[in-house]
Structure 1
Amino acid sequence: ILLLLYIMRYLKCAWKLFLQFIAVLGLLWMFSQLSQLKIGKSAAYILRYQWLDYANDDESPEKVCNCSAILQGEKEALQQAKLLTISKDFQKSIQIPDEYYIDATQDCRKFQINRKYITFPLSKEEEDFPLAYSMVVHHKNFERLLRAIYAPQNIYCVHVDKKAPASVFAAIKAITSCFPNVFMVSEAVNVVYAGWTRVQADLNCMADLYNTSTTWKYFINLCGQDFPLKTNLEIVQALRSLKGGNSLESEEMPQGKKGRVTNAHQVVDGQIQRTGKTKDPAPFNLPILSGNAYIVVNRGYIRSVLEDEQIQALIEWAKDTYSPDEFLWATIQRMPGVPGSTWPNRKFDVTDMNAIARLVKWHWHEGSEGSLQAVYPECKGHHVRSICVYGAGDLQWLIEQHHLFANKFDADRDPIAVYCLEKYLRHKALTE
């Protein structure tokens, strides 16, 4: 009996020690998780949202890359990524056919879970500051772009170029049908490079967004080869810091571009050409400013675009110009009375590098640091129409910039650049 009591006492002590050991391990694990997050994130938060992170055990072919090393600019990791992208087997493995999206969206809830969409606001600050997006796309990168910027409090208008293949249109329409706050534009147009229809596509989405919701605070327009450099929370915080202002390129028109607005143009066989006629001056003697297609503007700016009589006259005047998207928004930004606008005086000029709307690398502005001619380092990807299509080697520099979005990315040419950027942003969104 004494022996039995001794054994039972021993087992009881051993059991207590075992439970204490398990508790210590649990605490150590908890602290290790908390150490990766900012102060204020609870253990429950970690357990609840961890499944939304892009883990290394997912099905993405790009998972073999060392994204952490790539984002730090490590040469060996970048070289391995470059070799991988030129592999035919790898290129074949990353292709997602349009039929996949059409089939996968038959069960929207399953699609959202499998593609790891964030279907709830990650913070009260984000929930209270909804955004409106115009997405003018013709490219299969749409779904990854939508997933990267999606939040349930935001609203998204999608314009698919009428020239897009039927399968692309069907796939994008199927994706939008799975989200109550994502919709196809009410009137699509045939987008012509440097032509008026590029502006019209955004105007149609502006009207739809303005009439669909009264709660959104800021409007951002995107194209299919854009990708965010910031999380939704970072975007919200950047926009709040504008204190009602707008952020877009708007500066004096260079001499070499003035012919775009002094000569009349027309579209012939899908190409924009001069007609040989000289245009009348802009209405109301408005000074025409230079900018680009990408804007970050408040709701009042959009209301002015849709309703202001002077702006409507400017829009009509601009329809036969070359690349009207590269001066229209910039000019409106300097018109008195437009919410968030600034004076037309040159002291208020804003370059594309100072505006937060978009980061674009032009070939002729690339160079080494310290050069008076260089604005940014050389492109590590390739160029299309003198614009850098970013490669994985550009990521270290990109994520250090203050811009909200960058252009251009091509997931077919360098999928690792997109993969590592979206993985970086998702982890940051879940842990900030």
Structure 2
Amino acid sequence: MVLRGLSRLTWLKQVILFFAGGFFLYFATEETYLALKEKKDNLSEMLLSSAKIDCLKTIRGDAEEPKDAYLQHFKRRKSKTPLSEDYFLNITKDCKTYRTIRKFISFSMSKEEQEFPIAYSMLIHEKIEMFERLLRSIYAPQNIYCVHVDEKSSEPYKEAVRSIISCFNNVFVASKLERVVYASWSRVQADLNCMEDLLKSNVQWKYFLNTCGTDFPLKTNAEIVKTLKLLNGKNNLESMQAPPNDSRWLFHHEVQTAVFRTNKRKTLPPISIPMFSGSAYIVVTREFVKYICENEEIQKFLRWGEDTYHPDQHIWATINRIPEVPGSIPYSPKYDVSNLHSIARLVKYVFEEGDVFKGASYPPCTGTHQNFICIYGFGDLLWLLRKHHLFAHKFDPAVDDMVIQCIEEHLRHKTLYKTEM
């Protein structure tokens, strides 16, 4: 009855109740409530920021709200300053207060979630606030998180990451860090490093999901768990038939500050099936991870792929079609899975945008583009939330913070009240 009553309050009263009594009920300790009161200035600032946009109206389809939100966005865009490394170094000196003020969930929200822990790798290199918001949005105490910090990241950034991680016993930095070069093997190796570390942990996680610093979830932890259970031991990732003579793996590539193709032809891949194309993002079982880390034939294939171009876009897609690999699918073309049909990641590519009534894969990006990929804007919000994917790529608060803010509010509301906004 109380929760149904809450839904009849005005939006502002809901927010106030959430930060005061709602938080008290949620964490169920007087100490937490007092800590929140002591940090009222911080909370007021957060409340003021949230009140600028009515995410509820937008998600419910109010046609005028996006226009109003954009006007407010442009007015405050120049003055908005992202949280810095120094901010996190200071606030994490008191981990208990930090976890409370930054609204991290402190206990399992259901028995089903408690009994189905998930392992994450998080590959990051910049934008400390975005990393922290991603971690907070997917954090659950029963899960485990391996954070791979790019070796070439700044020292203040690395220090701030370590400071944040020190406040959690289920989050750790990968034991081996790579200097990641775009489109090189280092991207795959970073995930492999985390896989090996996660297998050594005491947490008996069920599935492995990999993320990067520009990803953001579209589902709550409870929804992710339900989706993974429905896979029933199968993996899920993009995997499509690839051209037979693809230069990405036909030629040897050299890695410097970028990846360069040479004229030296490679040997054929040491596998008995064709090559497949996909993406870096995967949803795979614990058994899959264990198998690829231990099986000698898979290890040969991995070593063969080290000098290919964008190996993250064919290594996982191909391994998941090998019959003996746990959770794999047959390599018949009838089993091909596009990025729009997988659950791993929702991505808008510029060359597939356009008028969906004329055959385009999706409507135009309302943010901007980087490497031919859409960095989402506020106008993409409803499209994102209506998709079945677990995560979307990519987001940048410097491009549009509102879309991230509204997804955060949406997921938090569903987590706490088990209902849509």
Q: TM exceeds 0.5?
A: yes
d(CA) in 2 for partners of 1:102, 1:86:
30
2:242 to 232, 253, 258: 253
Tell me the amino acid that sits aligned with residue 136 of structure 2. R
* TM-score normalised by the chain length of structure 2: 0.88
1:377 to 360, 363, 366: 363
1:104 to 67, 86, 91: 91
* TM-score normalised by the chain length of structure 1: 0.86
Q: 1:241 to 1:423 in 2, by over 3 A?
A: same
Q: Which one has a bigger Cα radius of gyration?
A: 1
The count of corresponding residues between Structure 1 and Structure 2 is 394
Q: 1:48 to 1:406 in 2, by over 3 A?
A: same
The answer to whether the aligner puts 1:33 opposite 2:26 as a matched pair is no
SS for the counterpart of 2:307 is coil
Shift of 1:254: 3.9
1:271 to 244, 247, 258: 258
d(CA) in 2 for partners of 1:337, 1:196:
24
Q: 1:367 to 1:356 in 2, by over 3 A?
A: same
Shift of 1:84: 3.1
Question: Contact 1:163 / 1:190 at 8 angstroms: preserved in 2?
Answer: yes
SS for the counterpart of 1:178 is coil
Residue in structure 2 matched with residue 431 of structure 1 by the alignment: 417
Deviation string for 1:46-94 (max 9, x for gaps)? 9722899xx997346343111112324534321232233333x544334
The answer to whether the aligner puts 1:396 opposite 2:385 as a matched pair is no
Matches within 5 A, 1:302-341: 302-341=289-328
Deviation string for 1:387-429 (max 9, x for gaps)? 1100111011111100000000001211111111101100111
Shift of 1:35: 8.1
Which range moves more in the overlay, 159-168 or 400-409? 159-168
Percent identity between the aligned chains?
45
The answer to whether the aligner puts 1:406 opposite 2:395 as a matched pair is no
- Where in structure 1 are there 5+ consecutive unaligned residues? 1-26, 37-43
Residue in structure 2 matched with residue 80 of structure 1 by the alignment: 68
Residue in structure 1 matched with residue 354 of structure 2 by the alignment: 367
Question: Contact 2:292 / 2:298 at 8 angstroms: preserved in 1?
Answer: yes
Which range moves more in the overlay, 163-172 or 120-129? 163-172
Deviation string for 1:282-316 (max 9, x for gaps)? 01344211010000000011011101111100010
d(CA) in 1 for partners of 2:222, 2:232:
16
Question: Contact 2:52 / 2:72 at 8 angstroms: preserved in 1?
Answer: no
d(CA) in 2 for partners of 1:80, 1:164:
37
Q: CA RMSD in A?
A: 2.4
Question: Contact 2:122 / 2:147 at 8 angstroms: preserved in 1?
Answer: yes
Residue in structure 2 matched with residue 148 of structure 1 by the alignment: 137
- Where in structure 2 are there 5+ consecutive unaligned residues? 10-20, 33-42
Q: 1:60 to 1:106 in 2, by over 3 A?
A: farther
d(CA) in 2 for partners of 1:421, 1:197:
31
Tell me the amino acid that sits aligned with residue 85 of structure 1. H
Q: 1:170 to 1:92 in 2, by over 3 A?
A: farther
Residue in structure 1 matched with residue 53 of structure 2 by the alignment: 65
SS for the counterpart of 1:159 is strand
Shift of 1:275: 1.6
Shift of 1:364: 1.1
> Greater relative contact order: 1 or 2 (C-alpha under 8 angstroms, separation 6 or more)?
1
Residue in structure 1 matched with residue 16 of structure 2 by the alignment: none
d(CA) in 1 for partners of 2:104, 2:260:
43
Q: 1:30 to 1:123 in 2, by over 3 A?
A: closer
d(CA) in 1 for partners of 2:249, 2:153:
29
Q: 1:60 to 1:362 in 2, by over 3 A?
A: farther
Tell me the amino acid that sits aligned with residue 32 of structure 1. G
SS for the counterpart of 2:357 is coil
Tell me the amino acid that sits aligned with residue 428 of structure 1. K
Shift of 1:333: 0.3
SS for the counterpart of 1:251 is strand
d(CA) in 1 for partners of 2:352, 2:7:
43
